[in-house]
Amino acid sequence: MNTESPIGIFDSGIGGLTVVKAIQAALPHERIIYFGDTARVPYGPKSEITIRKYAADDTAILMRYQPKMIIVACNTVSALALNIVEKSCSNIPVIGVLKSGAKLAVQITNNNRIGVIGTQATVCSNAYAYAINQLNPDIEVISQACPLFVPLAEEGFINHPVTKLVAEHYLTEIRTQGIDTLVLGCTHYPILRQVIEETLGSGISIIDSAEAVALRTRELLSESGLLNPSHKVSVPNLLVSDLPQKFSMLYQLFMGSALPNVDLVEV
Amino acid sequence: MNTESPIGIFDSGIGGLTVVKAIQAALPHERIIYFGDTARVPYGPKSEITIRKYAADDTAILMRYQPKMIIVACNTVSALALNIVEKSCSNIPVIGVLKSGAKLAVQITNNNRIGVIGTQATVCSNAYAYAINQLNPDIEVISQACPLFVPLAEEGFINHPVTKLVAEHYLTEIRTQGIDTLVLGCTHYPILRQVIEETLGSGISIIDSAEAVALRTRELLSESGLLNPSHKVSVPNLLVSDLPQKFSMLYQLFMGSALPNVDLVEV
């Protein structure tokens, strides 16, 4: 492991590409190895025990590439199984989207009322509220699970009236709770950011955990002298456990560019 | 294996319980062993190679219970991997929901125009059209993938305006194609039957594959002298690969009764 080693990033599926995109923008000279567990996606509606098993598998796959750090791009894993990831890669740093998003939200809120939206598993774990209150116990956290946002994003219902109606259904109550900051606690949600913002109305800052984790990664690599000295722009190395027909369309949706080479790995 | 051996039924998740319910109604004295692969659900958006691997795993789990037959309650597996199931259990009969649904649709249509709705994988496989045209090559089959119906059913959006709007989105075109019969080619769809019927309007017969497979199962057991002679009403034995928090709510939704004992198995 050295400065030229890759940054390992994993997610339950393709949603974590929002993190890849943010890392590329912040750190264009870093090599990235990304694993998406597309054969077992989604993790959000599954149990803690299953999510912890999958997190260990995903970490083991990335460790084959001797990364200099691991980013858990999956909020569900960040919420329920970050210690499993840390245990599976002993000596290298691990960053989860959750703590990075929580930290940025705490910096941004003025009225100490933060909303968090995520999958059923993330919201039920209460992990965002815990992470936020570790930083500032006076902050009130209001959470809302939005389970249909992932399939809507994956089906490309981006500006569709159905998505608007689903957003109304999920966000009507949280909108009345006086929050000034909302964390998008799932890597798919930035795809639906526009409809979420329109539904919330003005005056609420949106925290995209992907951007928050990219800031934290730059900080950490810089502090520990692990920034890649190269001046070449690197293309991410993409691994998935399944390659369904619509994968290429989804990649385009998340990354805004055509699909690069992708390798299949067995889980 | 004898007349008192159980009927093995599997599905990618809990959707196949609509088949369990139909079998219980048609054959109340049969023992049922059901496996739902809730740790890897859904299969519908995944690739053929992954679906075939999962189908072999699911069959192996049921074979531990020495069933007298296997019912593939998953339309996606029926479409893409029925021969894998047959190979994995050599000497016992296998029935898939797909062929049973296709057969009933062929019997019911008057104008030889049949619609089929299902997951992306089922529709892309063209397996319903193939099975229908094997029985009658003059029938025209019009297919439509409805990928959001599964998450909507699982989230309990049964009579919600969102589901109505999604149904309009998917069914508007197929409604204008002059079909007189529509096959619900996914075990979740009977849960949304009412909104599907309302959206289609009158004059289109709906084929529920769960009911079709129950009729075919009674026929097959009777022909081969394998009907259970018991007069006791049997409670199904339920196995799942994961037990998420909302499992009990989903069971209630599909079966209309409280959750019985459930065993966890590893995949």
Task: Tell me the pLDDT tens digit for each residue of B39-57.
Answer: 999 999 899 999 999 999 9
Check if the beta carbon of residue B169 is closer than 8 Å to that of residue A163. Answer: no
Q: Which of A160, A166, A170, A264 to mutate to test the interface with B (most CBs of B within 10 A)?
A: A166
Residue-wise pLDDT for A58-74, tens only, equals 999 999 999 999 999 99
Taking the Cβ of residue B148 and every Cβ of chain A, the question of whether any pair is shorter than 8 Å is answered with yes
CA-nearest of B142, B186, B182, B200 to B15 is: B186
Judged by average pLDDT, the poorest of A107-121, A182-196, A229-243 is A229-243
In this structure, what DSSP letter does residue B180 have? S
List beta partners, residue B137. Answer: none
Dist. CA B187–CA B12, nearest whole Å: 10
Average pLDDT, chain A: 94
Q: Is A186 a catalytic residue?
A: yes
* Interacting residues of A117 by C-beta distance below 8 A, sequence separation 6+: A123, A143, A144, A145, A146, A149, A170, A171, A174, A182, A183, A184, A185, A186, A189, A196
User: Has this prediction a pTM greater than 0.90?
Assistant: yes
In this structure, what DSSP letter does residue A223 have? H
Taking the Cβ of residue B168 and every Cβ of chain A, the question of whether any pair is shorter than 8 Å is answered with no
Q: Up-side HSE of residue B120: CA atoms within 13 Å toward CB?
A: 17
Nearest CA in chain B to A147: B155
How far apart are the CA of A22 and the nearest CA of chain B, in angstroms?
Answer: 27
Q: Is B74 a catalytic residue?
A: yes
Check if the beta carbon of residue A12 is closer than 8 Å to that of residue A36. Answer: yes
In which order are the strands placed within the sheet that holds B113-118? B140-145, B113-118, B181-184, B205-208
Dist. CA A62–CA B23, nearest whole Å: 45
The whole-number average pLDDT for the span B214-238 is 93
User: Would you state the pLDDT for residue A206?
Assistant: 97
Asked if the interface predicted TM-score (ipTM) of this complex is over 0.85, the answer is: yes
Q: 3-class SS at B184?
A: strand
Dist. CA B19–CA B21, nearest whole Å: 5
Check if the beta carbon of residue A10 is closer than 8 Å to that of residue A73. Answer: yes
Taking the Cβ of residue B170 and every Cβ of chain A, the question of whether any pair is shorter than 8 Å is answered with no
Q: Are residues B244 and A47, on separate chains, in Cβ contact within 8 Å?
A: yes
Residue-wise pLDDT for A121-173, tens only, equals 899 999 999 999 999 999 999 999 999 999 999 888 998 999 999 999 999 99
